[in-house]
Amino acid sequence: METAERAEHGVSTTDKPTEEADRDTEGKAEQSGRAPATPAKFSFMVVSNRLPVDRCSSEESGCEDGWRRSPGGLVTALAPMMTKTDGAWVGWHGAPDETVQPFSHGGIDLVPVQLSTDDIELFYEGFSNSTLWPLYHDAVVPPEFHRTWWDAYRKVNKRFADAVAEHAEHGATVWVQDYQLQLVPRMLREARPDLKIGFFNHIPFPPPEIFAQLPWRRAIIDGLLGADLVGFQRSSDAGNFMRSARRFLGASVKQQQIHVKGSNGKTTHIARAQAFPISIDAQQISKLARKPEIIERARQIRRDLGNPKTILLGVDRLDYTKGISHRLKAYEELLADGKVTVEDATLIQVASPSRERVEQYRLLREEVEGTVGRINGTYDTMENTAVRYLHHSYPIEEMVALYLAADVMLITALRDVMNLVAKEYVTARTNNDGALVLSEFAGAADQLKQALLMNPHDIDGLKDTIMKAVNMRPAEASRRMRSMRKQILDHDVDLWSAEFLAALNEKVVRDDT
Ligand code: G6P
């Protein structure tokens, strides 16, 4: 820890090692891009495909030594733990073929894992995002199965496991995140049986009937069962996982305990599967939503759009699970029916760029942009626009201004394990106004029961729900928003991580009933 804290990040300079350099102190060695002789050790480690930092240039706000903390609740939730408990984060730093030595940013020690151009194509774009992502989202687009992708997935998972094994103190707690790293728990348990291993899946776990398609289904279940605790967003995901463990590995499952057997048929350890619905940093969003400059920015956004009576908003990664096309279809029909007009209403659609080299994502972008062009071409006037489409990512301050500017938030996901945008919108509405239209297929619907829930496949139902939101009386809007805000403020992301870690450290009482 000490070493990594002292170190600056450094890009590998493979031409550097000389005898003189070999005599460098540890800190200098790290700056020159070479690994220190003795790796720093940590008692708490988080592992995710991406590190919680992005590259930036010095003129951008929040940029420190070329890095900026990435937005998102996970890092906020874990940061206090990481600083208090001598923790480190292991992950890819986002640049292909570049070796970056461990460094510290914003008080968090970071251990970068290198990915080559081939790894990105086969492990990240291939197995993670063209096999697992669509398969785990109920095959809304067909998953592809390629043995070369699987080989790369195994190889890269091993690299992550090795990095953790090298840096974990004896008896450390390790928390592995998400579908890109499902083999890491088993690999770690084999290399380091002394560790306490948790895993959290941030996306759905599909029913065994769909998971069955995966040629490597046994290896994935076995990989996850290396963990002491496997966390999911919803109890249905935990249930799907336990049914798959039983069906494909013949594991015995009692309550939430899965008895993992060694080659001699004896139970080697007990893995537990449980739901922990994730949330957001509600305090941060509430605080931003009360800042005068952000409130003024929201007014400015409305003015720039010609002060329409109603602003509708969609905010999504440009992903086929989000139902953006369904939303646009419903909106186009409402314009055609004359239920909304460009003079009275504007739909802002923020579609942040995502996985742009993956074919299905390219196709989706073409489709969405074609539809937006058609709608605007048909309905725009010189003064007013039907859809303001923004293919960008924005900092959280701008997002909160957009949430404040929008009267109606549209979340039409076809499959989404949670959807944190829904929670952010509600939290930002500190005046308890505005309306949330929310897909029944987003996990957030389990918690935000006062949203206007709908099935995005039912276009007429979606249109009716949008109109209900547009015309909602203030008293009803306030009643619904108040109750949803309370739910979120009572279940901050801090609570999510605290509950997971408490469960991970619980002593397991064997349930043999
Ligand atoms: C989802 C996944 C994350 C992932 C994020 C962005 O939220 O659960 O693991 O990091 O999408 O996707 P990307 O492929 O850009 O990392």
Residue-by-residue pLDDT tens, the chain, 513 positions: 333 322 333 333 233 333 333 333 333 334 334 556 678 899 999 999 999 998 899 888 788 889 988 877 788 778 777 877 789 999 999 999 999 999 999 889 999 999 999 999 999 999 999 999 999 999 999 999 999 999 999 999 999 999 999 999 999 999 999 999 999 999 999 999 999 999 999 999 999 999 999 999 999 999 999 999 999 999 999 999 999 999 999 999 999 999 988 888 888 899 999 999 999 999 999 999 999 999 999 999 999 999 999 999 999 999 999 999 999 999 999 999 999 999 999 999 999 999 999 999 999 999 999 999 999 999 999 999 999 999 999 999 999 999 999 999 999 999 999 999 999 999 999 999 999 999 999 999 999 999 999 999 999 999 999 999 999 999 999 999 999 999 999 999 999 999 999 999 998 777 665
Question: What's the gap in Å between 48 CA and the centre of ligand 1?
Answer: 10
Ligand 1 atom closest to Cα of 180? 9
Same domain, 349 and 378: yes
Task: Give the pairing of strands 267-275 and 257-261.
Answer: antiparallel
Calpha distance 6→386 (Å, rounded)? 53
Total number of domains in the chain: 2
Same domain, 367 and 452: yes
Question: What's the gap in Å between 354 CA and the centre of ligand 1?
Answer: 9
Distances (CA, A) of 361 to 127, 303, 311, 319, 460: 15, 33, 27, 6, 27
User: Is the distance from the beta carbon of residue 82 to the nearest atom of ligand 1 less than 6 Å?
Assistant: no
- Written as one letter, the residue type at 128 is S
Q: Does the residue 392 lie in any domain?
A: yes
Residues 6+ apart with CB under 8 A from 223: 157, 182, 183, 184, 185, 186, 187
Domain interval for residue 416: 282-491
Same domain, 240 and 319: no
Question: What's the gap in Å between 366 CA and the centre of ligand 1?
Answer: 21
Q: Does the residue 186 lie in any domain?
A: yes
pTM of the predicted protein model: 0.91
227: helix, strand or coil: coil
Q: Does the residue 145 lie in any domain?
A: no
Q: Contact 68/53 with Cβ under 8 angstroms?
A: yes
User: Is the distance from the beta carbon of residue 203 to the nearest atom of ligand 1 less than 6 Å?
Assistant: yes
Same domain, 294 and 385: yes
As given in the structure block, the two tokens for residue 398 are 């701008």
- Written as one letter, the residue type at 133 is W
Same domain, 311 and 257: no
Ligand 1 atom closest to Cα of 354? 15
Same domain, 377 and 393: yes
Render the burial of 313-322: b for 16+ CB within 10 Å, e for the rest. bbbbbbbbbb
Question: What's the gap in Å between 306 CA and the centre of ligand 1?
Answer: 35
Q: Does the residue 511 lie in any domain?
A: no
Which residue, 234, 254, 275, sits at the end of a domain? 275
